[in-house]
């Protein structure tokens, strides 16, 4: 599949994607078809991580801009353009100060959601910029949010300080947000994966070996290989020698709504 052809026909994909009944252009269907609807309920949740060949998503200091080249970043912006909401943990919102909007392709900005149980994100963070997109913060109940006017505050019950990913998704669904991108970081994506709350996972591997740095996934330790998660996976070559691995996690997805 040629990346140039993809760029030319991107607006066609976007138009067909939102009209749930239209078939997708054939060159886009393998990657974006599975993102139209979830396997087991009315939500669709896709996680993403951009990582090196040796599985790192940031340096030991937390620097990650940018592991991926233009092709990988363009794919990330396309993902943002087809979802209702993009979700990050407060670690990412703090380390990267991302805008989480759609700039590299045409498309609407999704709602931006930060999981910030202790309300520690700086209210001046770029993610809270008022550009017309909805902005939501997820805090632990009993915690006073520290966000600018216009940011919707969602208070959820915790268990030992932890929020259940399924509760987060249900709260988003109740607010009209049904197609969700869990954009990072490693901790947040790993929590959603472990809780069976992802339909798909897009891992975009860059031709880089870091040899140190933060790992992409952090799951409970296992002793034997047969305990490892073996995934149904579809590789898609991108430009710049990058590779998109589209992982199908629908078999382990729990029902949210």
Q: Which residues bind ligand NAP (CB under 6 A)?
A: 49-50, 57-58, 62, 64, 67, 88-92, 95-96, 115, 117-118, 120, 162-163, 165, 183-188, 191
Nearer to ligand NAP, 29 or 104 (CB): 104
> What is the distance between the alpha carbons of residues 189 and 177, in angstroms, rounded to a whole number?
18
If the CB atoms of residues 26 and 59 are measured against ligand NAP, the closer one turns out to be 59
Q: Which is nearer to ligand NAP, 186 or 210 (CB)?
A: 186
Cβ-based neighbour number of residue 86 at 10 Å: 27
Q: Which residue has the tokens 């208070």?
A: 155
Instruction: Annotate 14-58 with DSSP letters as a single string.
Output: HHHHHSTTSPPPTTTHHHHGGGSS-SSSS-EEEEEEEE-TTSEEE
Residue among 58 and 136 whose Cβ is closer to ligand NAP: 58
Q: How far is the CB of 87 from ligand NAP (least distance, A)?
A: 9
Q: How far is the CB of 71 from ligand NAP (least distance, A)?
A: 14
Q: How far is the CB of 93 from ligand NAP (least distance, A)?
A: 7
Give yes or no for a contact between 194 and 39, defined as CB atoms under 8 angstroms apart.
no
Smallest gap from Cβ 44 to ligand NAP, in A, equals 19
Cis peptide before 24 (omega within 30 of 0): no
- By C-beta, is 36 or 175 nearer to ligand NAP? 175
Q: How far is the CB of 217 from ligand NAP (least distance, A)?
A: 10
Cα–Cα distance for residue pair 188/241, rounded to 1 Å: 27
Tell me the angle at which helices 70-82 and 3-18 cross, rounded to the nearest 10 degrees.
10
């Amino acid at each position: 599949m040629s990346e140039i052809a993809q760029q030319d026909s991107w607006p066609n994909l976007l138009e067909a994607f939102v009209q749930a009944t239209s078939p997708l252009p054939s060159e886009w269907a393998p990657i974006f078809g599975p993102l139209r609807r979830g396997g087991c309920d009315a939500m669709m949740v896709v996680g993403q991580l951009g990582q090196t060949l040796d599985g790192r998503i940031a340096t030991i200091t937390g620097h990650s801009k940018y592991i991926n080249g233009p092709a990988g970043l363009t794919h990330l912006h396309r993902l943002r353009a087809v979802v209702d909401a993009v979700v990050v943990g407060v670690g990412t919102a703090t380390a990267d100060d991302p805008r989480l909007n759609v700039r590299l392709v045409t498309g609407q900005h999704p709602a931006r959601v930060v999981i910030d149980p202790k309300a520690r994100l700086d209210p001046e963070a770029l993610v809270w910029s008022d550009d017309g997109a909805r902005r939501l913060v997820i805090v632990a109940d009993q915690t006073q949010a520290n966000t600018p006017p216009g940011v919707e505050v969602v208070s959820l019950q915790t268990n030992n300080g932890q929020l259940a990913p399924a509760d987060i998704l249900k709260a988003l669904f109740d607010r009209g947000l049904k197609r969700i991108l869990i954009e990072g970081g490693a901790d947040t994506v790993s929590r959603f994966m472990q809780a069976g709350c992802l339909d798909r996972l897009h891992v975009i591997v860059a031709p880089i070996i870091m040899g140190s740095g933060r790992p992409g996934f952090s799951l409970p330790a296992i002793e034997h290989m047969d305990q490892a998660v073996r995934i149904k996976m579809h590789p898609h070559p991108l430009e710049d020698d990058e590779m998109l691995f589209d992982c199908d996690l629908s078999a382990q997805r729990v029902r949210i709504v």
